[in-house]
Copies of this chain bind each other. A is one copy, B any other.
Amino acid sequence: MQIALDAMGGDFAPGPIVTGAVQAVQADPGLRVILVGDKSQVEPCLANAPEDLRQRLELFHCAQSIGMEESPVVALRKKPDNSISRCWQLLAEKKVDAIVSAGNTGAMVAGGLRLRRFLKNVRRPGIAAVMPTLNGACVVLDVGANVNPKSVHLYQYGVMGSIFAKHILQKPKPTIGLMNIGSEEAKGHDLARETHALFNASDFKDRFIGNIEGRDIHRGAADVVVTDGFVGNVVLKVCEGVFEFAMKTVSKELLSALSTERGLAHQTLTGLAERYDYSSHGGAPLLGIDGICIICHGSSGERAIKNALAVAARYAGSGLNQLIVQELEASPMAGNGDEE
């Protein structure tokens, strides 16, 4: 398994990014990582890596990188030798099975859209985020690739999300819910109503449970939650903020209330906060791409990058994309409507 890693992407790049790669190849003897970035910055980070691991850590030099706050479209045009575009190039040339970046999400998505290396019949790729619920994990998509989707895009997110939920989250018969502001069919804006109708007229009718509301996600009401990239991105980050708020508030109150078991409580809460730490979850796949593309949290540290590389290797080996192509071919809605 060969993965290209954007060594320049993320708030703390390249240090922890490179360290994460070293840890990942150490943990998986079948893994090779190509570190894509500025040689003069990346090489020093590799200085302490054991020689046997270095053989599975290749350096692909590129002179430029895109900052987290840069405009994706402008940056991609003005900086042709940036690490994100080079990762995509390696994927397009089939030199790697997967690419991973904690860099500018917009640039990562736009880089992929430019190449248009979509899976057959896929209209627009979407970022899929796995979220914990009281009823196991669920997958929410799109969380930021497509802020102005059409209903057919959301329908395809449901199809791709179902395959992800079945084969990655191990849900035998995944249910699909449409993010909306009320349960009745006529609720929400035009996009929500059109998407609702599309699912009900499709082969996925049986697993479509209709509209779900914000509070239903963490209750585990649906295995796949379908929404546009604007709402999905806001939701993902709101979850992060509320969880952080809840844990801080609980810690403060509880640690001042307890005495003899304060240490034990602190330890338990720290463990929980780590388990649900959104920035270390190993990244979210951009589904619909021919190849595997994993987008990590900007604040990813070495653990997050190590996890993301492991996740990328797992997805690349799962045959997920082949199943998506089969499902979209079997589904009558797939090729319908206007092309973009």
Contacts and interface: CB of A to CB of B under 8 A. Distances in A.
Interface of A: 69-71, 105-106, 132-134, 144, 147-148, 179, 181-184, 186-189, 192, 213-219, 227, 229-231, 233-250, 253-254, 257-261, 264-265, 267-269, 271-272, 276
Given A260-B260, A260-B261, A214 B230 contact: no
A181 B238 contact: no
Given A69-B183, A148-B189, A258-B264, A218 B234 contact: no
Nearest to A249: B272
A219 B246 CA distance: 11
Contacts of A267: 257
B242 A218 contact: yes
Top 5 A-B residue pairs of the complex, sorted by shortest distance between their CB atoms: A214-B237, A215-B241, A214-B238, A246-B246, A218-B245
Contacts of A213: 233-234, 237
Contacts of A214: 233-241
Contacts of A184: 69-71
A192 B147 CA distance: 11
B218 A181 contact: no
Contact of A218 (B133, B241, B276): B241
A186 to B, nearest CB: 5
B181 A233 contact: yes
B244 A218 contact: yes
A264 B264 CA distance: 14
Nearest to A213: B237
Among A214, A216, A271: residue with most chain B CB under 10 A? A214
Nearest to A244: B218
B261 A258 contact: yes
B230 A231 contact: yes
B236 A186 contact: no
Nearest to A258: B261
Contacts of A235: 214, 234-235, 238
Contact of A239 (B69, B242, B259): B242
A132 B241 CA distance: 11
Contacts of A132: 245
Given A69-B183, A257-B264, 4 more contacts: A148-B189, A217-B241, A235-B238, A250-B272
A241 B235 CA distance: 11
A133 B183 contact: no
A71 B183 CA distance: 11
Nearest to A215: B241
Contacts of A234: 179, 181, 213-214, 227, 231, 234-235
Contacts of A246: 242-243, 246-247, 250
A133 B244 CA distance: 10
Contacts of A245: 132-134, 218-219
29 contacts: A69-B183, A106-B182, A133-B245, A147-B189, A179-B234, A181-B237, A188-B230, A214-B235, A214-B236, A214-B238, A215-B240, A215-B241, A216-B237, A217-B238, A217-B241, A218-B244, A227-B234, A231-B231, A234-B234, A235-B235, A235-B238, A238-B238, A242-B243, A246-B250, A250-B250, A253-B268, A258-B261, A260-B261, A261-B265
Among A235, A241, A248, A250: residue with most chain B CB under 10 A? A241
